Amino acid sequence: MAVDQKTMEMLHAEPDIAEGLDLSWMDQTGERGMSAHPGRRGLTLEEINKGPYGVAPATTEDQTMGPRGAARRAGVPRVGYKLPKKSDIWSENAAMLYEEAVQRQWSSATDIPWEELRPLPDDVERAYSQFCTFLTEVEFIAGDTPSQWLPQISNDHYEVKMFLASQIMDEARHLDVFRKRALANGGGLMQSSGNAGLRVIIEAKDFTEMSTIMHVQGEGLVQSIFRMGEFIATNDAEKRIFRLSAQDESRHVAFGVMHLKYILETEPERREEIHSYLEKAEPVIVGGGANGTAPVAGGAPVFGASLGILFGHSLGSEDEGARLAMAAFRRQINEYMHRLEVAGMGERRYRLPAHIQAVLDPPKN
Ligand SMILES: [Fe+2]
Ligand SMILES: [Fe+2]
How remote is the CA of residue 46 from the centroid of ligand 2, in Å? 23
92-357 under CATH 1.10.620.20, yes or no? yes
Give the mean model confidence (pLDDT) for residues 126-150.
94
> Range with the lowest mean pLDDT among 67-76, 84-93, 147-156, 273-282?
67-76
pLDDT beyond 90 at 67:
yes
Alpha-helix runs per DSSP H in 185-299: 199-202, 207-211, 219-226, 229-232, 236-266, 271-281
CA gap 86, 79 in Å, rounded? 17
Listed by start position, the domains of the chain span 92-357
Contact residues for 304 (Cβ-Cβ < 8 A; gap 6+): 286, 287, 288, 289, 290, 294, 295, 296, 298, 325, 329
CA gap 17, 15 in Å, rounded? 6
CA angle 140-145-150, nearest 5°? 130
Return the pLDDT at 110.
Answer: 98
Return the pLDDT at 23.
Answer: 87
Ligand nearest to the Cα of 135, by number = 1
Burial class (CB in 10 A: 0-12, 13-18, 19+), 238: buried
How remote is the CA of residue 101 from the centroid of ligand 2, in Å? 12
Return the pLDDT at 298.
Answer: 47
pLDDT beyond 90 at 13:
no
pLDDT beyond 50 at 289:
no
Return the pLDDT at 263.
Answer: 97
Q: By C-alpha distance, which of 334, 218, 205, 349 is closest to 281?
A: 218
The answer to whether 159 and 258 have CB atoms below 8 angstroms apart is: no
Return the pLDDT at 196.
Answer: 66
Ligand nearest to the Cα of 219, by number = 2
Return the pLDDT at 2.
Answer: 64
CA gap 71, 30 in Å, rounded? 5
Ligand nearest to the Cα of 171, by number = 1
Give the mean model confidence (pLDDT) for residues 6-22.
76
How remote is the CA of residue 352 from the centroid of ligand 1, in Å? 25
pLDDT beyond 70 at 28:
yes
How remote is the CA of residue 250 from the centroid of ligand 1, in Å? 9
DSSP state, 1?
A: -
Ligand nearest to the Cα of 145, by number = 2
Share of the chain above pLDDT 90, in %: 75
Whole-model pTM: value is 0.90
How remote is the CA of residue 256 from the centroid of ligand 2, in Å? 10
How remote is the CA of residue 220 from the centroid of ligand 2, in Å? 9
pLDDT beyond 90 at 350:
yes
> Range with the lowest mean pLDDT among 46-55, 188-197, 354-363?
188-197
Return the pLDDT at 296.
Answer: 47
How remote is the CA of residue 143 from the centroid of ligand 2, in Å? 8
Give ion ligand 2 contacts, CB < 5 A. 142, 219, 249, 252
How remote is the CA of residue 202 from the centroid of ligand 2, in Å? 14
CA gap 68, 134 in Å, rounded? 40
Amino acid occupying residue 9 = E
How remote is the CA of residue 251 from the centroid of ligand 2, in Å? 8
Per-residue pLDDT reduced to its tens digit, 153-178: 999 999 999 999 999 999 999 999 99
Give the mean model confidence (pLDDT) for residues 182-206.
88
Return the pLDDT at 1.
Answer: 56
- Strongest mean pLDDT among 240-244, 279-283, 295-299: 240-244
Please indicate whether residue 264 or residue 289 has the higher confidence score (pLDDT): 264
Q: 300 falls in which pLDDT band (50, 70, 90)?
A: low
Q: 359 falls in which pLDDT band (50, 70, 90)?
A: very high
Please indicate whether residue 358 or residue 290 has the higher confidence score (pLDDT): 358
Q: Mean pLDDT in the chain?
A: 91
CA angle 158-250-200, nearest 5°? 75
